[in-house]
Amino acid sequence: LHALHTHLADRGRGVVVMPCGSGKTLLGRWFAEQLAARLTLVFVPTLALVGQTVLAYREGAAWPHQTMIVCSDPMSGRAVGLE
């Protein structure tokens, strides 16, 4: 968390690359909590990761926050066009 915080403070943005099962969801949750983020936007590729992310962000959450999770899985619903 410290390295991520230092990198973002210096450069403003970055990419975290970690293998499957190594804790990317928890890293995001812990970082959002450390920053006391009121809103967190999370992008996930599958419906299974939506559930995992919701549980991780709600479990033991001691800070008031909202999490918006966007899923690109084609089985998650249909796109709605704005006219």
Answer whether 27's CB lies under 8 Å from 18's CB.
Answer: yes
Please report how the helices 24-34 and 47-58 are oriented relative to each other, as an axis angle in degrees rounded to 10: 40
Answer yes or no: is pLDDT of 83 > 60: no
Q: Cα–Cα distance between 64 and 51 in angstroms, integer? A: 20
**pLDDT (tens digit, 9 = 90+) per residue, 16-67?**
889 989 998 888 888 888 888 888 888 888 888 888 888 888 887 777 888 8
Q: Cα–Cα distance between 52 and 68 in angstroms, integer? A: 13
User: What pLDDT does 81 receive?
Assistant: 52
Nearest to 52 by CA among 36, 75, 71, 80: 71
Most confident of 57-61, 67-71, 73-77: 67-71
